[in-house]
């Protein structure tokens, strides 16, 4: 058993080192005069608390107004979302209502795509904040005609509290790992709160209708692009492209969100994504095993100590530049204690995601 644990640790160390190299290899684009037509698509359901803020964030974008449109899709909201959207004074905004019997973010994007006039599609979520140069920075990567999809950086608004801090640390670690994988040309996932792609490629490659996962509008499209086109995915390592979203305020909501995220991994067909998912899971199971073993026998102490120290060291190596990029070095102090907590937590989430239903936007989805 000890040999198996050591092999898992060795493979994990190699994986994170590879992501660290990939993070370093990602660069900001220097292009500033590439101005294609852009359609920003955002699906909304019961977002009355976010609409006013969202509209103000979109309105401040520095981009030629005749080359930019916002398509906001109302997914059967039962609050004041639609009324607030329709009363907006933004000239280049279009509000689209989902037809009866059709719902969900994937269908909302597909619906908006039929009306989008932009060559480049930029997608995000209703609870996000953007820099004024967000659109300009993200689409600049498409000046390279080989680029089909751009994954953008996402973080949480800075808020006080250990729970929100640890949540943000985990979130940023996922973004950093995804960016690192892109940097070594072996993309595994991205975040739908900040991604861009060519409309033509979406129409050619999107496979939403053939997968049953309620979410995954982001990662499944990325996998489709990766499968067909080499060197076609970029990570926008530019502070002007950072999107900020809300951290989940309650433990119940946090667990529910993570169950939803984890549940879609059952639909993965990309080997690198499957390999990384299982390796991370087995690494954390190994850490839990060694910790529990140490509680019963001192024979596990040194192996547990070595495993913990090496895992922390390589995780810190990756997270230091990533947190520096996001200007969240205040979270560095939580990495060491978070290692053990995360090991127990991730095992629990995996079990729950494949055995329990989860709620999303007021709808219950069963696994």
Are 186 and 211 contained in the same domain?
yes
- Percentages (nearest 5) of helix, strand, coil residues in the chain: 55, 15, 30
Are 221 and 291 contained in the same domain?
no
Mean pLDDT to the nearest integer, 27-52: 91
Are 52 and 178 contained in the same domain?
yes
For residue 293, tell me if it sits in a domain: yes
Burial of 299 (0-12, 13-18, 19+ CB in 10 A): exposed
Which stretches of 194-300 are DSSP H helices?
199-205, 219-228, 251-263, 271-296
Are 44 and 189 contained in the same domain?
yes
Q: How confident is the model at residue 212 (pLDDT cuts 50, 70, 90)?
A: low
Mean pLDDT to the nearest integer, 108-117: 93
Are 165 and 70 contained in the same domain?
yes
Flag whether pLDDT at 39 surpasses 70: yes
Q: How far apart are CA 116 and CA 258, in angstroms?
A: 31
Which pTM value belongs to this model?
Answer: 0.91
DSSP β-bridge partners for residue 137: none
Are 282 and 322 contained in the same domain?
yes
Are 246 and 304 contained in the same domain?
no
Q: How confident is the model at residue 208 (pLDDT cuts 50, 70, 90)?
A: low
For residue 87, tell me if it sits in a domain: yes
Flag whether pLDDT at 364 surpasses 70: no
Q: What is the CATH number of the domain that holds 225?
A: 3.90.550.10
For residue 104, tell me if it sits in a domain: yes
Are 103 and 235 contained in the same domain?
yes
Are 105 and 185 contained in the same domain?
yes
Are 310 and 283 contained in the same domain?
yes
**Number of domains within the chain:** 2
Q: How confident is the model at residue 143 (pLDDT cuts 50, 70, 90)?
A: very high
Residue 111 lies in domain: 29-252
Reading the block at residue 279, the tokens are: 């390796």
**Model confidence over 264-291: pLDDT tens digits?**
777 788 999 999 999 999 999 999 999 9
For residue 266, tell me if it sits in a domain: no
**Model confidence over 287-327: pLDDT tens digits?**
999 999 988 888 889 999 999 999 999 999 999 999 999 99
For residue 264, tell me if it sits in a domain: no
Neighbour-count burial for 124-135, b at 16+ CB within 10 Å, e otherwise? bbbbbbbbebbb
Task: Calculate the alpha carbon distances from 120 to 55, 111, 137, 209 in Å.
Answer: 20, 16, 12, 22
For residue 93, tell me if it sits in a domain: yes
DSSP β-bridge partners for residue 114: none
**Model confidence over 1-12: pLDDT tens digits?**
789 999 999 999
For residue 262, tell me if it sits in a domain: no
What pLDDT score was predicted for residue 216?
55
Q: Is residue 228 within 8 Å of 178, Cβ to Cβ? A: no
Mean pLDDT to the nearest integer, 350-364: 63
Are 214 and 104 contained in the same domain?
yes
Greater model confidence, 320 or 28 = 320
Are 141 and 215 contained in the same domain?
yes
For residue 258, tell me if it sits in a domain: no
Q: Is residue 198 within 8 Å of 119, Cβ to Cβ? A: yes
């Amino acid at each position: 058993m000890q040999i198996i644990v050591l092999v898992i640790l060795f493979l994990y160390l190699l994986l994170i080192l590879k992501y660290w190299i990939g993070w370093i290899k990602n660069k900001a684009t220097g292009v500033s005069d590439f101005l294609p037509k852009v359609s920003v698509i955002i699906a909304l359901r019961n977002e009355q608390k976010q609409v006013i803020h969202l509209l103000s964030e979109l309105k401040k974008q520095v981009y030629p107004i005749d080359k930019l449109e916002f398509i906001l899709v109302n997914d059967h909201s039962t609050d004041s979302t639609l009324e607030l959207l329709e009363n907006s004074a933004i000239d280049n905004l279009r509000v689209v209502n989902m037809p009866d019997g059709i719902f969900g973010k994937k269908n909302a994007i597909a619906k908006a795509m039929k009306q989008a006039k932009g060559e480049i599609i930029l997608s995000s979520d209703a609870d996000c904040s953007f820099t004024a140069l967000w659109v300009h920075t993200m689409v600049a990567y498409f000046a390279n005609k080989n680029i089909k999809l751009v994954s953008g950086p996402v973080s949480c608004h800075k808020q006080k509290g250990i729970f929100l801090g640890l949540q943000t640390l985990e979130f940023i670690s996922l973004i950093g790992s995804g960016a690192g994988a892109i940097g070594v040309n072996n993309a595994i996932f991205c975040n739908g709160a900040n991604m861009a792609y060519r409309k033509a490629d979406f129409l050619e490659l999107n496979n939403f209708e053939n997968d049953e996962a309620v979410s995954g509008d982001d990662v499944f499209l990325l996998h489709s692009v990766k499968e067909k086109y080499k060197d076609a995915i970029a990570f926008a390592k530019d502070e002007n492209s950072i999107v900020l979203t809300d951290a989940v305020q309650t433990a119940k909501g946090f667990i529910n969100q993570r169950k939803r995220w984890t549940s879609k991994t059952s639909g993965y067909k990309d080997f690198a994504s499957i390999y990384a998912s299982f390796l991370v899971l087995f690494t954390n199971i190994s850490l839990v095993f060694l910790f529990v073993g140490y509680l019963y026998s001192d024979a596990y102490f040194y192996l547990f100590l070595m495993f913990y120290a090496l895992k922390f060291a390589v995780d810190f190596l990756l997270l230091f530049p990533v947190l520096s990029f996001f200007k969240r070095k205040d979270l560095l102090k939580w990495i060491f204690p978070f290692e053990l907590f995360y090991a127990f937590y991730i095992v629990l989430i995996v079990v729950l995601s494949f055995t329990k239903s989860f709620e999303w936007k007021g709808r219950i989805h069963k696994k």
